[in-house]
């Protein structure tokens, strides 16, 4: 039986050339941070409509996103949401569904990129499988939720959690 090393372990503890290398703190021994925000749909209901954008929070360049989760206290109605990223630098293309694509909110919902812990996995960017994590953020910008379909129900609460690391 052979013993082999992962890329980061080999670089830091068992380099083949004898030269130890530093690896990003966000990949080895880094601290997972949480960006969290919530939003209560205002009354009257038609204040928030399909294609409206909700800003959640900012991430800096080279942040590595490990999971994004949404939850609701009750059904937001027949609406669905995308969770994506808008870059400050206009040379980098925004991706409206970078993290979650067309996530349903009809009922008390807990959804995440990866599933697990009772969360229903929702794939991102139109993919047919779980997104490859971590997703590295190319430049500073804003995590955004885009409401799709029907108007969300007034008085209901949407919570968004972004789990990320950074050097």
pLDDT of 43: 81
- Global pTM reads 0.81
pLDDT digits (tens, 9 = 90+) for 53-68: 999 999 999 999 999 9
Q: Where are the beta strands (DSSP E) in 12-156?
A: 33-40, 53-59, 64-72, 79-87, 95-104, 110-112, 120-121, 135-136, 141-149
Peptide bond into 134 cis (omega under 30): yes
Closest CA to 131 of 54, 42, 66: 66
pLDDT digits (tens, 9 = 90+) for 70-100: 988 777 777 888 999 999 999 999 999 899 8
Judged against a pLDDT cut of 90, whether residue 36 lies above it is answered with yes
Domain limits, the chain = 31-165
- Tell me: domain 31-165, CATH 1.10.10, correct? no
């Amino acid at each position: 039986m052979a013993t082999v090393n992962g890329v980061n372990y080999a670089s830091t503890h068992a380099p083949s050339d004898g030269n130890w290398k530093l690896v990003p703190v966000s990949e080895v021994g880094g601290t997972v941070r949480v960006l969290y925000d919530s939003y209560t749909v205002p009354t009257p209901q038609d204040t928030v409509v399909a294609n409206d954008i909700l800003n959640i929070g900012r991430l800096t360049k080279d942040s590595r996103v490990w999971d994004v989760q949404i939850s609701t206290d009750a059904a937001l109605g027949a609406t669905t949401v995308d969770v994506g990223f808008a870059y400050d630098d206009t040379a980098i293309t925004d991706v409206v569904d970078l993290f979650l694509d067309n996530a349903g909110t009809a009922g008390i919902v807990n959804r995440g990129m990866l599933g697990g812990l009772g969360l229903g996995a929702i794939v991102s960017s139109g993919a047919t499988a779980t997104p490859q994590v971590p997703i590295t953020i190319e430049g500073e910008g804003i995590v955004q939720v885009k409401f799709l379909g029907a108007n969300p129900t007034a008085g209901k609460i949407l919570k968004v959690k972004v789990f990320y690391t950074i050097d």
